[in-house]
Amino acid sequence: MTQHKALEALIKAKAAEIGFADCGIARADAAPKTAERLRQWLEEGRHGSMIWMEERAHHRERPAGLWPEVRSVISLGMSYAPRTDPLALAEHGEIGRISVYAQGQDYHDVIKRRLKELARWLVAEAPGADVKVFVDTAPVMEKPLAEAAGLGWQGKHTNLVSRSHGSWLFLGAIYTTLELAPDAPVRSTCGSCDACQTACPTDAFPAPYRLDARRCISYLTIEHKGPIPHEFREGIGNRIYGCDDCLAVCPWNKFAHAAQANMAFVPRAELTAPALADLLALDDAGFREVFSGSPIKRIGRDRMVRNCLIAAGNSGSAALVEPVRALLGDADEAVREAAEWALGKLNYPSACGRG
């Protein structure tokens, strides 16, 4: 029996007041299979070059591994449901496609402010309670914890699926020493649907509920450093930062509406359909100016231009030949390599740009 009989309802009401679309509570030990799944995933090398996943795996396995005093986890979701079809620009080769989540303000900043606001309120309501807030910047397994807290279930694409908000939820967590009454998990209802599996352009799902990050376009365009493996380049198409395909095709997203989205994530006009030619011309200062306040800024100019060169090569557009050729002498090796590849794909051998 919780010592704070009415506090759980108050927490949820306050979370809604400050902009969270959903809130649930789980015991700190409520996701016992997380550690086993994480260890297997790491042993198979499916995390690619994300070495930090290995280095702090013992902290990720369970909340108490990070903070022994934690007793309850308050899991929170904030909607970023899109206003337009995320797949609408798939056939527009001269336009770069940016994942929906990255078209507005940086979610790290937005959600952390709201989590801190909720945490301060909670400490005032329950003096003596200790809290810690997390949003994608610490070794916390947000998705299994959100599932345990009843926000939804992890679908076959491994992302959380909510009955009310589909797949478009940013997740955050508050760890607390309070003993709070947990919510009941919801039942997975993916059934026989395999839409997310078959939609993946690079076959990143070796089996339902399992992701091989090394094949995932989000990983390749955001986390992966250096040249992108050739076998995945055509599948990337015109995606230059992340990929929404497995989320966009999920039938549960028909219940997610843009009106539910937090206004902080309204897309910036310059990020909804950026011209590849403009992005290929960016230097470091220009990159920082265009992507200021966006999560995209963390990958840096070189990785973004590399991604844009892959998209240019896939575009079939002769208009992009000159912007690509201009990068053959770039200071970054991966950019130079991608420029040579792109010219070859556009039927303009790189030697033509050096003669």
Beta pairing class for 72-79 and 97-98: unpaired
- Active-site residue among 85, 130, 136, 332? 136
Verify whether residue 183 is a known catalytic residue: no
What b/e sequence results for 152-189 when a residue is b if at least 16 CB atoms lie within 10 Å of its CB, and e otherwise?
A: bbbbbbbbbbbebbbbbbbbbbbbbbbebebbebbeee
Six-digit token string for 319: 């208009």
C-alpha 194: how far from chain center: 21
Amino acid identity for residue 4 in this structure: H
DSSP 80-133: ---SS-TTTTTT-TTB-EE-GGGSSS-HHHHHHHHHHHHHHHHHHHSTT--EEE
**Residue 3, Cβ density class (10 Å: 0-12 exposed, 13-18 middle, ≥19 buried):** exposed
Which single residue is written with the structure tokens 């040249």?
Answer: 227
Active site residues: 136
